Structure 1
Amino acid sequence: MKTLLKVMLTIAAIFASTFILGRVLGILTEDNVREWLEIASTLSALTVIAVVVGLLAIDLFVAVPTLTIVILGSYFLGFEMGFAAAITGSAIAAFGGYSICKRWGETALAKVIRDENQRAEMRDAFTSHGPGMIMLSRAAPILPEVTACMAGMTRMPLLRFAIFWLVGTLPYMGIAAYAGSVSTLDDPRPAIFAALGLYSVMWTGWFIYRKFSIKGGTQLLV
């Protein structure tokens, strides 16, 4: 399990560095996202869809404020189109990360963990704990990309990964998109309550999952 955590923390550190760099350079902040979507909304719905999908897709390489993008996108697009755009962009990032790491992850992993036995131990640990991690990954930024990369690196079957990803992502995106669609500039409360509720539910899920993992004999540190 220690090997799994080491690899996940290494991947998380890479993603975190892009987040910090973006903040230092003043790009891909919530203010940027709001401004771009407002400009796109003056052009056409297709432009807003393209911006939402594009921003969520590049989350694989540069950390973006996902929840803000989904809520604002749905505010301009409405629930159905906002939800569809959110799922499309998130899927591109998730399955892109899965595919890239399935193709080249083993080579990179061998440089981080040189012992084959430790790599095998890591794969076994992710096979056991990966499903829960994937389903609850929306509890924190960066974690969805980390778990997608881990799934590809450990060669989790694509259908298996897709099922767990959908279970964790569809309700999250659906609630965020609906909240954005019914919010207004004068009454942003639905979006605020949705954001607080989503994070509360996800963190509660992590707490329960971690508790059962410890009870089962394996402690999760994430």
Structure 2
Amino acid sequence: MKPLIKVMLSLATAFALTFIMGRVLGILTVENVKHWLELAGRVDPLWLAGTVVLLLFLDLFVAVPTLTITILGGFFLGFPAGAAAAFMGMSLAAFSGYGISRIWGDRVTSFLLRNENDRLDMAQAFSRNGPAMILLSRAAPIVPEVTACMAGATRMPFPRYLGYFSLSTLPYVAIASYAGSISSPESPQPAIYAALALYAVLWVGWYLFRRSSRKIVES
């Protein structure tokens, strides 16, 4: 399990650095994202949907406020159009990360784990724990991209990854975008409650997952 944690933490650190750089440079702030979506909405709804897709796809390379974009997508596009755009953007990011890592992931894992046995242990550990990690990945930023890369690097069959990704992402997108569609600047409570509820459920899931993992290790 330690080799898996080492690789995932290394990937998470790399993604976190892009988030910090974006914040330091003042590029991917919530205010900027909202401004871009408002500008796109003035041009055409298709431009607005494309902007949502593009921003969420960029999450693979530069960490963006995913939940905020999904809620704003629902607010500006309505439901289910906002949900469709958000799901498409998240899917492009996840599948691209999976594909890139499937092709070049061996080079990264070989660099981080010099010992072949450690690489084998990493692959076996992700095979056991990866499904739960993917299902609960929306609990925190960066984790969806890390799990997508790990799935590709460890050669998880794509249909299997697609199934776990869909089970994780579709409810998340639907709830967040619907909450955005019934919210307004004067009444933002649905979006706030939806965000809190999503994170609460996912963090409880992570707690139960970690608890069961510890029991398996101790036994």
- Normalising by structure 2, report the TM-score: 0.98
Q: C-alpha distance in 2, partners of 1:156/1:48?
A: 34
Alignment of 1:128-167 (within 5 A): 128-167=128-167
- 1:41-97 CA distance string (max 9 Å, x none): 111110110110000001000000000101011101011110000000000000000
Offset at residue 218 of structure 1 (A)? 6.5
Structure 2 distance, partners of 1:176, 1:38, is 18
Q: 1:176 to 1:218 in 2, by over 3 A?
A: farther
Query: Which AA in structure 1 matches 2:181?
Result: S
* Change beyond 3 A, Cα 1:110–1:218: farther
Structure 1 unpaired stretches of 5+: none
**In structure 2, what is the equivalent of residue 83 of structure 1?**
83
Q: In structure 1, what is the Cα distance between the partners aligned to 2:48 and 2:71?
A: 12
Instruction: Report the residue type matching 1:147 in the other structure.
Output: T
Return the alpha-carbon distance in structure 1 between the equivalents of residues 201 and 149 of structure 2: 24
Shift of 1:132: 0.2
Instruction: State the alpha-carbon separation in 1 of the partners of residues 184 and 133 from structure 2.
Output: 34
Q: Given the superposition, is the C-alpha separation of residues 13 and 218 from structure 1 closer, same or farther in structure 2, using an over 3 Å criterion?
A: farther
Which 5+ residue runs of structure 2 have no aligned equivalent? none
Measured on the aligned residues, the alpha-carbon RMSD in Å equals 1.0
Question: SS at the partner of 2:43?
Answer: coil
State the secondary structure of the residue aligned to 2:80.
helix
What is the alpha-carbon distance in structure 1 between the residues aligned to residue 122 and residue 19 of structure 2? Answer: 26
Per the alignment, residue 2 of structure 1 pairs with 2
| Secondary structure of the structure 2 residue equivalent to 1:114 | coil
Q: Within the alignment, does 1:73 sit opposite 2:85 as a pair?
A: no
Equivalent position SS for 2:184 = coil
Matched, 1:18 2:18: yes
1:200 match: 200
Counterpart AA for 1:190: P
The alpha carbon displacement at 1:24 in A equals 0.5
Number of the residue aligned with 2:33 = 33
C-alpha distance in 2, partners of 1:108/1:206?
A: 27
Indicate the residue corresponding to 2:110 in structure 1.
Answer: 110
TM-score by length of 1: 0.97
Q: Work out the CA distance in 2 between the residues paired with 1:75 and 1:199.
A: 20
Partner of 1:121: 121
1:215 Cα deviation from its structure 2 partner: 1.1
Partner of 1:62 in structure 2? 62
Letter of the aligned partner of 2:169 in structure 1?
T
SS at match of 1:64: coil
User: Residue type of the partner of 2:55?
Assistant: L
2:189 maps to a residue whose letter is R
* SS class of match (1:184): coil
Matches of 1:105 and 1:4, distance apart in 2: 13
